[in-house]
Structure 1
Amino acid sequence: RVPQVLSSAEEIAELYRELSQHPGLSTACLGPDVTTQYGGKYCSLYTEWSQRDLARAENVKFCRQYLIFHDGASVVYSGPAGTCSEIKDELLSRESPSGVLKAVLRKVSGKEKEKEKQFLEVWDENRKVKSIDLTALDKHGSVYDDDQFGCLAWSHSETHLLYVAEKKRPKAESFFQSKAPELGTSDEDVGHPKKEDAPLKVGSPHPRAGGGWQGGCGADRAVLQGEQFVYHEDWGETLSTRSVPVLCALDIEGNSVSVLEGVPEHLSPGQAFWSPGDTGVVFVGWWHEPFRLGLRHCTNRRSALFYVDLTGGRCELLSEDTKAVWSPRLSPDRCRIVYLENDALGPHQQCSRLRMYDWYTKHTSTVLEAVPRQAWGAFPGIYCSALPALCWAADSRRLVLDTAQRSQQDMFVVDTVTGATTSLTADAPQGSWSVLTIDRDILVARFSTPSCPPTLKVAVLPATGQEAQARWVCLQDAAPVPGISWGIHTLRPPPEQEHPQYGGLDFDAILLRPSEGPATQKPPLVVMPHGGPHSVFTAGWMLYPAALCRVGFAVLLVNYRGSLGFGQDNVASLPGNVGTQDVHDVQFCVERVLQEETLDASRVALVGGSHGGFLACHLLGQFPDTYHACVVRNPVVNIASMVATTDIPDWCLTETGLPYAPDALPDPAQWTEMLHKSPMRFVDQVRAPVLLMLGEDDRRVPPKQGLEYYRALKARGVPTRLLWYPGNNHALAGVEAEADGFMNMALWLLKHLRC
């Protein structure tokens, strides 16, 4: 008898509803220490979580507070303080350095036909002390709340707030606009500038002379003709409303907003903070000439670290200007700035360098180099999208970070003077560890596994040399999801598939399998390669794999060569070999796992998104006898047709193994090479039914890619179905699209694997 899996849509929907309710943990913030009358110390811990609300079809955010009693060396007692409550309409929030004030950027829906407004609020311990309508002030466009450019930074004096917003655009009208008869002209009508705000001097309650801040832009008030339909470039996937960012400061006392002058025209600023002494602003500047490329998940865009002086508006380069830099973090003693650095262009994600700039000596050193090969017991290298917002230890010498180490994610402490690294999680349970924050050496972390949703952990960072002895205390537990067992398999490609330049590389796969019920004996297998291609599955909580496992499928998450966490050689081995090396790694892994594990080899399916969809479509065509169903989300199917429509044309050339230059014109030989490496080349061999899911607003892999495959399959009589999700981009992460996508995926697999 065929082992049974869940098969009714009602049961699967109920299962998804239950698993999708596990909240994700996004941020944590420690309050100031309070000393009790008995001499003990405690502090509050504020945490933010997000959870899918299927009834409202949205993600809801909520907060929960905890108390941590500690003696400076260890956590004495910790526990929750009160219940959780939903957070409404907060876009950004940031505690002041002293912990006494909190700044909040809030969106407020406009009355009737008014557009949505943005307010900047300042709260003290028990009330709102300021509420400033930024929309009404009209100094800039929308404030950025993304994690690419966005920031909300307190000055060290706690008198000013720094943020990034869209530059104000002059009003434009038709050449044929009807005008009301003029009764009398005001200064504004004839384009006379309004009186400018006095420049800003931070640290003093009132502005003084000399400065690089401007208030109103008088010239902007002239209405321009012929400018209504001018094209404004943007920064691509998830950043389509971001074009020209400007740095802005709120003088809290004076209720005035100023826009920073002095940022060079060819740069887009972001990730900014106040310099030591509040004399100016440090920011990351991205080059946007000759045109903008997509930035999301692209840590290879030319950028550098800059300082703008408030007194003279002078802009100074603090890092090399030929690299890609991001995530600058100022030490507690305000003497050093660490940041991450990659080579510009090349693979979108790489093994990064950790660099440090000394504010007073102006000397830059390399704390950690890129690691060519991962070796157990040694530091694996840095593979992360950002450093924690607070990452420095109290000694201003050590810092903490998390990074992929093969197929798990671990936390390390780094000595910035010696470059020594120590794992904080080597003796802790295996899975995925992330640093949420560190303050006064109290370290807050998130931990999860493929069968255990996120939990909240806290420890005190031990003294230098004893970091490996960190003792973790669980503040918020989550019960493991029953019925899922998992393990990590390591594979070495066969000799004929070794890379000629990077020999001896291996790779991993994470296998989840049902551990309860009738499907445990010989479950069907769902093969899931990741996207990127330079990303990685770490052994943490993932809703789709966990839910598929509970339905009754074994799920194989493949970290083929080219994945992060295995050393820079592993990353470098893939460009030029997509469509062969990555495809063969996945197929080799599938064949090996089918040999070694009790799985049903007659019921194997593929699921993949983006580059994972590229691999799924390749595998369907290159190994049609292995796979019997397929689900792909926003797949790359034809690199040659993608290059002219994507926000990342450099990806198409780099992964094909070709050099990228902004002014290069594709020649027939290059187009041939791109097509040759694409799944479309093998579409004639595809037999398995294919379900496509496309995001209408996807800028990364535009939905035309999936449509191209859909038409090719239809023309060849292959059973195919297409789901089109409006208002969704590349990730298909809208709550409704994600839920509908899971249901359709599960039912498609059950139908075509004859479960």
Structure 2
Amino acid sequence: MERQVLLSEPEEAAALYRGLSRQPALSAACLGPEVTTQYGGQYRTVHTEWTQRDLERMENIRFCRQYLVFHDGDSVVFAGPAGNSVETRGELLSRESPSGTMKAVLRKAGGTGPGEEKQFLEVWEKNRKLKSFNLSALEKHGPVYEDDCFGCLSWSHSETHLLYVAEKKRPKAESFFQTKALDVSASDDEIARLKKPDQAIKGDQFVFYEDWGENMVSKSIPVLCVLDVESGNISVLEGVPENVSPGQAFWAPGDAGVVFVGWWHEPFRLGIRFCTNRRSALYYVDLIGGKCELLSDDSLAVSSPRLSPDQCRIVYLQYPSLIPHHQCSQLCLYDWYTKVTSVVVDVVPRQLGENFSGIYCSLLPLGCWSADSQRVVFDSAQRSRQDLFAVDTQVGTVTSLTAGLVILPLKCVLSPPPDLTVSAPPQSYQRGSGGSWKLLTIDQDLMVAQFSTPSLPPTLKVGFLPSAGKEQSVLWVSLEEAEPIPDIHWGIRVLQPPPEQENVQYAGLDFEAILLQPGSPPDKTQVPMVVMPHGGPHSSFVTAWMLFPAMLCKMGFAVLLVNYRGSTGFGQDSILSLPGNVGHQDVKDVQFAVEQVLQEEHFDASHVALMGGSHGGFISCHLIGQYPETYRACVARNPVINIASMLGSTDIPDWCVVEAGFPFSSDCLPDLSVWAEMLDKSPIRYIPQVKTPLLLMLGQEDRRVPFKQGMEYYRALKTRNVPVRLLLYPKSTHALSEVEVESDSFMNAVLWLRTHLGS
């Protein structure tokens, strides 16, 4: 019987990709102020921001949409969209003022060439633009940071000032031999300015400035900046310690100072994107005296400080520094007035039964506090799901908001009913399935969240946080429904490694895999399977919407997403079990999962392929070397191939050392035994056994896993006449996520699988 995948020609695959790639993704949401109608009812607006692939323009577009939520104080009565979506071209950051009466927008405009693009900071009020400041022309600093590592846009509590992070203004540099031609029509002041010897530093044109690595190449020396909204004056704050780079800042109680996270950049900067373990601490700088005060332990790593509504307490995440890049974190609380720090939720070594397995988010939502300043709401991976939780900061109890949940269907409000005092919710509802959740914001106990599954694109939901002790009774109302994708069946498999593969130090750990399979295939034994280990390695797949697995499943493949030991969401012991065992424990876990699923599901064991990126590519290349008879084809995206040769060229050299099983120190050079161990744990070691056809996809601007890693593997395979094809994307970075690159890589992957999994 001919396999279903062989019936999909390139045109059909392109059409399928075009259709599914149009599914938008939620990126942010905020809630407008409370409004009381003339009938006594209450409503709030929900402002949402989305991104979507535009294959015609070959870019990700951003758009916004408004919704109305009518409620009776503790439950949603009616909800629905208000108007159509509008593209928000040029917006980099936006933030509502505390009262909701104004909105600040950071916007880019102008050309795309060097020096042509300008940044404007706008203030909007109701239906007009109140102020617009050309930040580029003012030349107080360099480009404003819009990333989620350092970036922020924070209103003062008085709504008179805006706080943000920008690149420090650099001195001008010129050649030793550069001369300036003076314009005869220039004013005397302009001529005098051009003649000043200190206007440019000769010979500094090519001075190297360290940056913060992957996706942060233009960011080197961040500074805290304050804009006076009334006067337009900009000041760069003094008092930040010389050895740290500031970010994630907000106004302290009373607007007397600024609280920020400071990251160590001595003796040199390391890549920070997806690395929650970078040494950092919480600081407060007084705006009057310029004095800077340390608020947290400065030997650890911290992230996402959030001030409570009553302005009394700050909650933040805390991690050990310079061990695995992502791990279980502590939730800490700093009391602003007593100056006492406490650990609200500690690291969870190991999950017991169905109990909470720890916090695994890199950032808390900007809005995460309950109205009474007692509870904090967040999302976190819990094994192979992502759930919402509420933490009582007084007693440290953690309660799930999405276990045993109820989801109410969409209720569109075209015109407000005359009487909004009705408190009885609609009677029809459905129990939630085992999908995954993401909290976008909470304000006055009204939560805005995203829900999706491997067969259901993201849907937007709102619900009120119940009173303490009743958190599991949340009624979630859908603001916007998404259509389920038909013929995708999925489930979670729990796997226990065999005794001979146990980790002696961390015995008894299990792991999981998410299996997607086509609905009702004519003959299951003819279904090919694609195996996908995740990257990181300390990350995880969760039961959320993912484009590539859904696409492959719709094309007739079973897709196995493996959360091997070392993945997040399974307790800190699982994470710590992997360093020193990469290339062995993770590889054997994936192989064991493959063998178990093939045995239980009776898929075609002679037509199994691999697809993985970064550390997932590392595992994939290990598997085709260690188990060459199992895999018929392989697709690897920016894979780690040789840890030893990667050490000197990556933005995360600590990753190479730690995952190989050694402590990292910036002043320590590896000896021969360490180099040998790195090489021994690398896929390059198994090159002589490889015979599986391999498609390599490399981003030439990848700072995390430099593309020379893939080139090293490519040349070794070519020498041995192994079928290999290399796609080199000249302007792409590690994620290969640019629309043109992502779409091209998917089509090439599909054609590669189709070619090499044919009968």
TM-score by length of 1: 0.95
Query: Could you tell which deviates more after superposition, 3-12 or 586-595?
Result: 3-12
Candidates 329, 336, 354, aligned match of 2:331 = 354
Partner residue of 1:476 out of 474, 477, 480: 480
SS in 1 for 2:4: coil
Flag the 1:272–1:245 CA change in 2: closer, same or farther, 3 A. Answer: same
Deviations 1:154-205 (A, max 9, x none): 0000000000000000111111112346999978887899xxxxxxxxxxxx
Given that residues 3 and 521 in structure 1 are in contact (C-alpha distance below 8 angstroms), is that contact kept between their aligned partners in structure 2?
A: no
> After superposition, where does 1:549-568 map in structure 2 within 5 Å?
549-568=553-572
- Correspondence 1:498 to 2:499: no
- Structure-1 residue corresponding to 2:378: 401
CA shift, 1:73, in A, is 1.3
List aligned pairs for 1:78-89, cutoff 5 A.
78-89=79-90
SS for the counterpart of 2:543 is coil
In the alignment, is the contact (CA less than 8 A) between 1:171 and 1:221 conserved in 2? no
Distance in 1, matches of 2:226 and 2:524, equals: 59
1:311 paired to 2:288: yes
Does the 8 Å contact 1:3/1:518 carry over to 2?
no
2:622 corresponds in structure 1 to: 618
Q: Taking structure 2 as the reference length, what is the TM-score of the superposition?
A: 0.94
Q: 1:173 to 1:583 in 2, by over 3 A?
A: same
Q: Does 1:227 align with 2:219?
A: no
Matched, 1:42 2:19: no
Q: 2:415 matched to which residue of 1?
A: none
Q: Deviations over 1:635-663 (max 9, x none)?
A: 00000000000000000000000111101
Q: Deviations over 1:549-598 (max 9, x none)?
A: 00110000000000000000000000000000000000011001110002
> In 2, distance between residues paired with 1:509 and 1:32?
43
Question: 2: distance between equivalents of 1:570 and 1:724?
Answer: 35
User: How far does residue 384 in structure 1 lie from its aligned partner after superposition?
Assistant: 0.6
Residues 1:638 and 2:615 are matched in the alignment: no
Structure-2 separation of matches of 1:684 and 1:576:
24
- Give the 5 Å matches for 1:302-451: 302-428=279-405, 429-451=433-455
- Matching residue of 2:413: none
Residue in 1 that maps onto 2:417: none
Between the aligned residues of both structures, percent identity stands at: 65
Residue matched to 1:531: 535
Give the SS at the match of 2:169.
Answer: coil
**Deviation for aligned residue 1:515:** 0.3
- Structure 1 residue 745 and structure 2 residue 749: aligned? yes
1:726 aligns with one of 716, 725, 730: 730
How far the C-alpha of 1:726 sits from its partner, in A, is 1.7
Q: Is the 8 A contact 2:182 2:191 kept in 1?
A: no
Matched with 1:656 is 660
Matches of 2:247 and 2:87, distance apart in 1: 29
Aligned to 1:141: 142
Report what 1:212 is aligned to: none
Q: 657-666 or 710-719: which moved more?
A: 657-666
Q: Distance in 2 between matches of 1:331 and 1:293?
A: 32
Distance 2:106 2:593 in 1: 48
Partner residue in 1 for 2:606? 602
State the Cα distance separating 1:517 from its structure 2 match: 5.0
Deviation at 1:377, TM superposition (A): 3.7
Q: Does 1:541 align with 2:518?
A: no
Name the structure 1 match of 2:66.
65
Query: Matches of 1:39 and 1:735 in 2, distance apart?
Result: 48
CA displacement, residues 689-712 of structure 1 (integer Å, 9 cap, x when unaligned): 000000010000000000000000
The residue that corresponds to 1:263 in the other structure is: 240
Q: Which amino acid aligns with 1:346?
A: I
Aligned-partner Cα distance in 2 for 1:509–1:733: 24
Q: For residues 111 and 644 of structure 1, what CA distance do their matches in structure 2 show?
A: 33
**Could you tell me how far apart the structure 2 residues matched to 1:72 and 1:377 are?**
33
Letter paired with 1:2: E
SS in 1 for 2:657: helix
Q: Secondary structure at the match of 2:665?
A: coil
Please name the residue that 2:489 is paired with.
485
| Counterpart residue number, 1:117 | 118
What is the CA–CA distance in structure 1 between the aligned matches of 2:719 and 2:525, rounded to whole Å?
A: 39
Aligned residue type for 2:620: A
Q: Residue 32 of structure 1 aligns with which residue?
A: 33
Q: 1:583-639: CA deviations, max 9, x gaps?
A: 000001100111000200010000000000000000000001100100000000000
Aligned 1:640-719 pairs, distance under 5 A:
640-719=644-723
How much does 1:110 deviate? 4.2
Deviation at 1:665, TM superposition (A): 1.3
> Structure 1 pair 113/700, CA: closer, same or farther in 2 (3 Å)?
closer
Change (3 A) 1:74 1:241: same
**What residue identity is the alignment partner of 2:304?**
S
Mapping 1:44-193, distance limit 5 Å = 44-110=45-111, 115-180=116-181
Counterparts of 1:310 and 1:345, CA distance in 2? 32
**Following the alignment from structure 2 to structure 1, what is the Cα–Cα distance between the partners of residues 323 and 463?**
38
Question: What one-letter code is carried by the residue in structure 2 that aligns with 1:366?
Answer: V
Q: 1:715 to 1:131 in 2, by over 3 A?
A: same
Cα 1:668/1:112, change in 2 over 3 Å = closer
Q: Secondary structure at the match of 1:455?
A: strand
2:603 aligns to what SS in structure 1?
coil
Deviations 1:48-79 (A, max 9, x none): 11110011100011111110001111001101
- Hey, what's the Cα distance between the residues in 1 that align with 2:147 and 2:293? 25
In the TM superposition, residue 243 of structure 1 has moved relative to its aligned partner by: 0.3
The verdict on how the C-alpha distance between 1:111 and 1:466 changes in structure 2, with shifts beyond 3 A counting, is closer
Distance 2:71 2:466 in 1: 13
Distance 1:712 1:577, change over 3 A: same
Q: CA deviation at 1:519?
A: 6.4
Distance 1:108 1:592, change over 3 A: same
Q: Deviations over 1:224-265 (max 9, x none)?
A: 112111100000000000000000011000111111111111
The change in CA–CA distance for 1:181 and 1:33 in structure 2 (over 3 A counts) is closer
Deviation at 1:406, TM superposition (A): 0.2
SS of 1:370 mapped into structure 2: coil
Question: Relative to structure 2, which stretch is displaced further, 174-183 or 76-85?
Answer: 174-183
Q: Secondary structure at the match of 1:77?
A: strand
Answering whether residue 14 of structure 2 is matched by residue 13 of structure 1, we say yes
